[in-house]
Amino acid sequence: MSSKSKVLVGLSGGVDSAAAVLILQNEGYTVEGVYLHLQQDDQNISRANEMAKCLNIPLHILDLREYFEEEIIRYFVESYRRGETPNPCVRCNERVKFGKMLDFALEEGFDFVATGHYARIVHEKDSSKIYKASNREKDQSYVLYTLSEKQRKHILLPLGDIESKGQTRQMLLAQQIPFHDSEESQEICFVEKDYRDFLKGRGFVPETGEFVDEEGRILGKHRGIGYYTVGQRRGLGISAPEPLFVKEIVPEKKQIVVGGAPSLMQLTIFAKEIHFFDDIPEGPVEAKIRYAAKPATCRVFLENEEHLRIEFDEPVRAATPGQSVVFYRGDELLGGGIIC
Contact 26/52 with Cβ under 8 angstroms?
Answer: no
Amino acid 236: pLDDT: 94
Average pLDDT over residues 152-159: 98
In a domain, residue 199? The reply is no
How would you class 63 by CB atoms within 10 Å of its CB: exposed for 0-12, middle for 13-18, buried for 19 or more?
exposed
DSSP state of 152: H
Amino acid 188: pLDDT: 83
Average pLDDT over residues 287-311: 96
In a domain, residue 180? The reply is no
Range 92-96 contact pairs with CB under 8 angstroms and sequence separation of 24 or more: 92/68, 93/143, 93/144, 93/146, 93/147, 94/146, 94/147, 94/151, 95/71, 96/36, 96/38, 96/64, 96/67, 96/68, 96/71, 96/72
d(CA 110, CA 30): 9
Average pLDDT over residues 163-177: 87
CATH number at 152 reads: 3.40.50.620
**65 HSE (CA, 13 A, CB side):** 7
Catalytic residue among 54, 189, 298, 340: 189
- Same domain? 70 vs 26: yes
Contact 211/221 with Cβ under 8 angstroms?
Answer: yes
In a domain, residue 248? The reply is yes
Average pLDDT over residues 196-224: 92
The total number of structural domains that make up the chain: 3
- Same domain? 148 vs 10: yes
- Same domain? 103 vs 213: no
Domain boundary among 217, 234, 259: 259
d(CA 295, CA 40): 37
Beta bridge partners of 123: 128
In a domain, residue 109? The reply is yes
Contact 287/296 with Cβ under 8 angstroms?
Answer: yes
d(CA 67, CA 289): 28
DSSP state of 159: T
- Same domain? 234 vs 268: no
Q: How confident is the model at residue 187 (pLDDT cuts 50, 70, 90)?
A: low
* Catalytic residue status for 340: no
- Same domain? 285 vs 330: yes
Amino acid 180: pLDDT: 44
Amino acid at 7: V
The separation between CA 164 and the C-alpha centre of its own chain, rounded to angstroms, equals 20
Amino acid 3: pLDDT: 55
Average pLDDT over residues 242-265: 96
Average pLDDT over residues 300-325: 97
List CB contacts of 8: < 8 A, sequence separation 6 or more. Answer: 31, 32, 33, 34, 60, 101, 104, 105, 108, 110, 112, 113, 114
Q: How confident is the model at residue 40 (pLDDT cuts 50, 70, 90)?
A: confident
DSSP state of 162: -
- Same domain? 33 vs 150: yes
* Catalytic residue status for 189: yes
Q: How confident is the model at residue 314 (pLDDT cuts 50, 70, 90)?
A: very high
Q: Is the pLDDT of residue 22 over 80?
A: yes
d(CA 96, CA 102): 8
Amino acid 89: pLDDT: 95
d(CA 269, CA 266): 7
Give the domain range for residue 324.
Answer: 264-339
Amino acid 205: pLDDT: 84
Across the chain, mean pLDDT equals 93
Q: Is the pLDDT of residue 201 over 80?
A: yes
In a domain, residue 194? The reply is no
Catalytic residue among 54, 89, 92, 298: 92
Q: Is the pLDDT of residue 116 over 90?
A: yes
- Same domain? 29 vs 168: yes
pLDDT in tens, 42-71: 788 999 999 999 999 999 999 999 999 999
In a domain, residue 198? The reply is no
Average pLDDT over residues 179-183: 53
Q: How confident is the model at residue 184 (pLDDT cuts 50, 70, 90)?
A: low
- Same domain? 274 vs 248: no
Average pLDDT over residues 101-115: 98
